[in-house]
Amino acid sequence: MTTPMLEIRNLHARIAEREILRGVNLTVPAGEVHAIMGRNGSGKSTLSYVLAGKADYEITEGEVLLDGEDILALDPSERAAKGLFLAFQYPIEIPGVATMTFLKAAMNAQLKARGQAEMTTPDFMRAVKEAGQSLHIDSDMLKRALNVGFSGGEKKRAEILQMALLAPKMCVLDETDSGLDIDALKIVSDGVNALRGPGRSMLVITHYQRLLNHIVPDVVHVFSDGRVVESGGKELALELESKGYAGFDEAAA
Ligand X SMILES: Nc1ncnc2c1ncn2[C@@H]1O[C@H](COP(=O)(O)OP(=O)(O)OP(=O)(O)O)[C@@H](O)[C@H]1O
Measured distance CA(128)–CA(143) in Å, rounded: 12
Cα→Cα distances 44→204, 210, 222, 226, Å: 10, 19, 10, 8
Stretch binding Mg ion (CB under 5 A), from 56-64, 73-81, 85-93, 241-249: 85-93
Task: Write a three-state SS string for 26-83.
Answer: EEECCCCEEEEEECCCCCHHHHHHHHHCCCCCEEEEEEEEECCEECCCCCHHHHHHCC
In the set 1, 18, 55, 73, which binds ligand X (CB under 6 A)? Answer: 18
Contact pattern for Mg ion over residues 147 through 186, marking x by CB under 5 A: ----------------------------------------
Q: Least separation, in Å, of the C-beta of 46 and ligand X?
A: 3
> Closer to ligand X at the Cβ: 50 or 81?
50
Cα→Cα distances 226→23, 53, 66, 238, 240, Å: 7, 17, 20, 22, 18
Measured distance CA(31)–CA(180) in Å, rounded: 26
Number of residues forming the site for ligand X (CB under 6 A): 13
Could you tell me which residues come within 8 angstroms of residue 104 by beta carbon, excluding any fewer than 6 positions away? 119, 121, 124
Closest CA to 186 of 170, 194, 35: 194
Query: Is 16 a binder of ligand X (CB under 6 A)?
Result: yes
Q: Which of residues 37-56 bind ligand X (CB under 6 A)?
A: 38, 40-46
Strand partners, 173: 87, 204
> Closer to Mg ion at the Cβ: 45 or 176?
45
The residue number whose beta carbon is nearest to Mg ion equals 45
> Closer to Mg ion at the Cβ: 35 or 107?
35
Strand partners, 24: 11
Q: Least separation, in Å, of the C-beta of 203 and ligand X?
A: 13
In the set 13, 22, 34, 45, which binds Mg ion (CB under 5 A)? Answer: 45
Contact pattern for ligand X over residues 88 through 117, marking x by CB under 6 A: -x----------------------------
Contact residues for Mg ion (CB under 5 A)? 44-45, 89
Chain contacts with ligand X (rule: CB under 6 A) = 15-16, 18, 20, 38, 40-46, 89
